[in-house]
Chain A
């Protein structure tokens, strides 16, 4: 699918980055505010889908030259390894820990293992969605 729509093309060049930035924001804000890895991943995929609608799926392949199957697998691996880390510390699988640290210049920052897990979810969602969309759209 590819439309040669000047308005879409022009608008997309700005909107795309806003959507992507928003998706990353959603991912990281999930701990305390609405959002999370699942939504973040979906929004990122939506941005990429928009890109492929505007410029064709080949453009996505060139701009984001990754195999999305591997992205999905990596996401699952991150999630599982986060769970295994707690096993290594002798607590039940997938126990989470969180701590606040002070980082120079940035100030107070919160670190949570749940965020790592969420990043895994994020990549798994992107990988799956994009695998399906690309597979179907590139089928002859």
Chain B
């Protein structure tokens, strides 16, 4: 247990304390108690910055030692970057939420418990080394996100959005679990470190000798290692499960990071309170997929499939997200699509960067592609900063004015100058304009996509790769357009006070501080990108690309704002600005193209159709066998039993009779047996319910008499008691049942059918009464089958003695358990665990009966109540997503 472990557990532990704090200290906003947690953790992680470039920190405690699952934390540059984002943005979001969420009206304890759960789980994701531990934390983030989206659960859209996000991310997560298991199986280890160290491409040398010098050396090593391992046949990349594992893991990562076509959950997730949208759904959780891709790049990166899948999915997401963002009229929906597209951008860069790991990659191209990874981590950081800022500003508008609809906003620059400035910083940083940090990473992004064209020979690709920079450039124009929309449609133009809930005014300082900090960071990062690069970005890049040579500052890891007049990136940016302004000004002319998008085939609609279809099909399948008649259900059970046990009996040739060594049948026993059979047969023919009950309990009591005869007093006692109670129960139940009818014509009971108790549906009673008298062959067959099979099993069990009897062990009950009653010693001591679980099951059954009877018919208690007081809540408007 180290401080790193404690840092993951601290939010979880504090989450347990939050409800008490909420109850005890009602006058204080619960957020103030929560705020120190991310603050402390942020400080804690900051202290690793000076050392992380030199060495990674790692510590392990056993968790499920029997399965070899250890909670190993591993802190390298990439983990540290994410940990700082999680805790740093976490601080600001908690501070913001204190002013955003009302102390009087909101269920704050729920909010902060979920938030802390998320924080701990997300730290767990980025710090875990074991694949399955990572997966566990991964799913906890999905669930806490679910709870946070459904925070205002009385709204239908919140519930729907939460459900959608949960379904999509969990489905992806399930695929990912399969992929991780395959990977762990193929690699022989679940530790990411071990898998990377083993050299997935048979190049055991290349990652180990990162200090070996130039990339050419590394490539040579790779080639050498390739042949060596090829001889040994141990390379992970040659394993049959390598590609399936990769694809399944990517599915999980794409679903989590809202990549095309899984992006549809993210806009709906905007139903969450805005601090949550800023935190989970733009800055941290949705980047978990990006994290996983980056983390596993050393494992899979050398494969061409990895590069192309991520590159194309990222590019499609970038393009489609930015395209759809333009038509949004809800600011939050616009930011959601923008987040989708920016995540696609980062993904795309990671895909390009992974090509640097391909075995045999020339040195020049390696550097070219590694620059894309630097761009990815830099943009990841920038995106968290500017998007967090933007979300917070939109939250302020929403909170202070009561609307997020751009048709209602406008002309606010005079009333909200600080918000305007912040929105401008955030949006220009997103659009990639100087002097904001987004400009730098946007330039690097252009360099990265141009690198695909430039290095196409090394990628075994042709001229068609020109589509990559082209699409990226068009997407950037779209980004530029909606960035302008964000600023100018909101803050300039005509003020429409009639459409606003409240008169326009600036937000309180507490709400402005967090976005001001983020906006300032966007400027600071622009001013000193290389300090940042050295402190945290370079170690992160090194974690993604272990082959990168150490110690040379200039080669690719240098970030500069100016690349000279001849650089293509500069002209791409200029083009973006010119085209962007032109299109923005003429938006009315071309905005109509969105109407040509087939609404029928939108991904949302497909998702809903698929969901409804699945429900319909499963309902139909279920209806086939869930008929509501107990008789049918017994039929399934018994047919299954006969088929399974009967087949086993025949297949294993197990039918054997051996009566040697058995005591002779006493006349008393014969009489008892005859009485048993007689009462069982009578039960079938009896037509009165009371008689049936009495005959049934006669069977039970006769069996307990048999126990008495065999000198088993414990069994006899228990059977007697059970029989007594269950007879009473039968009487009680039958008291409520309708009059007994019989299958077949009344009076003629020579049908061999068991008397059916008419079920709750009266229809069956009438239907069966109308049926002509005949033998119910299926039932007869089933009952005969059950009787035969069970008798055969019983007799054969006596005939077989494959093992030594274990009853001798129990004869020492007095020595072992201090009990003279062996039966009791077995129940409470030798098999005590069984008994414990049995009473739990028994009690559950009792509770089940209680629930079914007492709690029925009160289904719609959730709705209503408190709707009046909720009316004043911010964001009580539903999101209007245009797709």
Cβ A121 vs Cβ B828 within 8 A: yes
Residue picked from A34, A125, A133, most chain B C-beta under 10 Å: A34
Closest Cβ–Cβ distance, residue A66 to chain B (whole Å): 15
Given A31-B819, A46-B721, A139-B853, decide whether A128 and B824 contact each other with a Cβ distance below 8 A.
Answer: no
Which of A7-15, A68-76, A101-109 participates in binding chain B?
A: A68-76
Cβ A36 vs Cβ B714 within 8 A: yes
Cβ A127 vs Cβ B846 within 8 A: yes
Cβ B828 vs Cβ A42 within 8 A: no
Give bound CA distance, A34 to B823, whole Å.
8
Cβ B828 vs Cβ A114 within 8 A: yes
Closest Cβ–Cβ distance, residue B633 to chain A (whole Å): 20
Asked if B872 is at the interface of the complex by the 8 Å CB criterion, the answer is no
Asked if A56 is at the interface of the complex by the 8 Å CB criterion, the answer is no
- Pick 14 A–B contacts, CB within 8 A, sort by A: A30-B828, A35-B821, A36-B821, A39-B721, A42-B725, A46-B721, A46-B728, A94-B833, A96-B832, A114-B817, A114-B819, A124-B839, A124-B840, A131-B847
Cβ B821 vs Cβ A38 within 8 A: no
Given A76-B839, A124-B839, decide whether A32 and B821 contact each other with a Cβ distance below 8 A.
Answer: yes
> Which B residues form the contact surface with A (CB < 8 A)?
713-714, 717-718, 721-722, 724-725, 728-729, 731-733, 735-736, 817-821, 823-825, 827-829, 832-833, 835-836, 839-840, 842-843, 845-847, 849-850, 853-854
Complex partner residue of A33 from B818, B820, B825, CB under 8 angstroms: B820
Cβ A49 vs Cβ B843 within 8 A: no
Cβ A49 vs Cβ B735 within 8 A: no
Count of chain A to chain B residue pairs whose CB atoms are closer than 8 Å in the complex: 148
Cβ A136 vs Cβ B733 within 8 A: yes
> Which A residues form the contact surface with B (CB < 8 A)?
1, 26, 30-39, 42-43, 45-46, 49, 53, 69, 72-73, 75-76, 79-80, 83, 93-94, 96, 98, 110, 112, 114, 117-118, 120-121, 124-125, 127-129, 131-133, 135-137, 139
Cβ B818 vs Cβ A98 within 8 A: yes
| Interfacial chain A residues near B724, Cβ < 8 Å | 42, 46, 49
Complex partner residue of B714 from A39, A76, A110, A124, CB under 8 angstroms: A39
Cβ B717 vs Cβ A132 within 8 A: no
Given A46-B721, A118-B828, decide whether A112 and B818 contact each other with a Cβ distance below 8 A.
Answer: yes
Complex partner residue of B832 from A42, A75, A94, CB under 8 angstroms: A94
Closest Cβ–Cβ distance, residue A95 to chain B (whole Å): 9
| Interfacial chain B residues near A117, Cβ < 8 Å | 828, 832, 835-836
| Interfacial chain A residues near B824, Cβ < 8 Å | 30-31, 35-36, 114, 118
Cβ B849 vs Cβ A135 within 8 A: yes
Cβ B732 vs Cβ A129 within 8 A: no
Closest Cβ–Cβ distance, residue B851 to chain A (whole Å): 9
Give bound CA distance, A132 to B820, whole Å.
34
Give bound CA distance, A34 to B718, whole Å.
10
Complex partner residue of B839 from A39, A53, A79, A96, CB under 8 angstroms: A79
Complex partner residue of A38 from B735, B827, B833, CB under 8 angstroms: B827
Complex partner residue of A36 from B728, B827, B836, CB under 8 angstroms: B827
| Interfacial chain A residues near B818, Cβ < 8 Å | 31, 98, 110, 112, 114
| Interfacial chain B residues near A94, Cβ < 8 Å | 832-833, 836
Give bound CA distance, A93 to B832, whole Å.
10
Please give me the residue from chain B that is nearest to A36 by CB atom.
Answer: B824
Cβ B850 vs Cβ A69 within 8 A: yes
| Interfacial chain B residues near A33, Cβ < 8 Å | 820-821
Give bound CA distance, A75 to B847, whole Å.
14
Please give me the residue from chain B that is nearest to A114 by CB atom.
Answer: B828
| Interfacial chain A residues near B821, Cβ < 8 Å | 30-36
Given A1-B732, A1-B735, A114-B829, decide whether A127 and B843 contact each other with a Cβ distance below 8 A.
Answer: yes
Please give me the residue from chain B that is nearest to A97 by CB atom.
Answer: B818
Give bound CA distance, A49 to B730, whole Å.
13
Cβ B729 vs Cβ A133 within 8 A: yes
| Interfacial chain B residues near A79, Cβ < 8 Å | 835-836, 839
| Interfacial chain B residues near A133, Cβ < 8 Å | 725, 728-729, 732
